[in-house]
Amino acid sequence: MLNRSGIASALALTIASVLWLRAVRDPLPPRGPDLADGLDPKFELLRKALPDHARVGVLLPTDTISSIAGDPAPYYLAQYGLAPLLVHRVIVGDCVRDGAKACGADRLDFLVEGLGGPRQPEVAGLKTQLRLGPVAVTEGLSLSRRQP
């Protein structure tokens, strides 16, 4: 068994196993939910309150898609959580400055808030302007509907 080829085999398996042992001692990623794991169950609750083909938007502080510096994760997660509804981005500052029609909020029936941290006074003003009333609330997120 331990001729030249046997020694080579033993060495190869030993070296590979030692490297494997070193690599598998790498720490696992931190336990506990990350953003997706934390937010998705909340969106699941909101989704149940939404009718099929609802026109829904998410209130955001900045345009997270056009700017690579912005964090697109909250919007992406809203879209992931509420699929197959198409989720529109509503930039709060744009609405306050240019009006609900210019920022597209007037074409929506539902709005999700609580993501990405838009300033609360602006959000409150916009909600009044759009006549938004609460439909469902989960920890940190709320869904509002435009009143007729």
Residues that bind another protein (CB under 8 A): 1, 4-6, 8-9, 11-13, 15-17, 19-24, 26, 28-29, 31-34, 36-37, 40, 65, 68, 72-73, 76-77, 79-80, 83-84, 86, 88
b/e per residue 42-62 (b: at least 16 CB within 10 A): bbeebbeebeeebebbbbbbb
Residue 8 Rama label (left phi>0; alpha psi -120 to 50; beta): alpha
b/e per residue 92-124 (b: at least 16 CB within 10 A): bbbbbeeebeebebeebebbbbbbbebeeebbe
Nearer to another protein among residue 11 and residue 124 (C-beta): 11
Nearer to another protein among residue 24 and residue 147 (C-beta): 24
Structural contact between residues 121 and 88, judged by C-beta atoms closer than 8 angstroms: no
Nearer to another protein among residue 9 and residue 120 (C-beta): 9
CB of 15 to another protein, least distance (A): 6
CB of 55 to another protein, least distance (A): 12
- What is the spatial distance between Cα 5 and Cα 13, in angstroms, rounded to a whole number? 12
Nearer to another protein among residue 69 and residue 128 (C-beta): 69
Which pairing describes strands 87-91 and 110-113: parallel, antiparallel, or unpaired? unpaired
CB of 129 to another protein, least distance (A): 24
CB of 46 to another protein, least distance (A): 14
CB of 51 to another protein, least distance (A): 14
Nearer to another protein among residue 47 and residue 127 (C-beta): 47
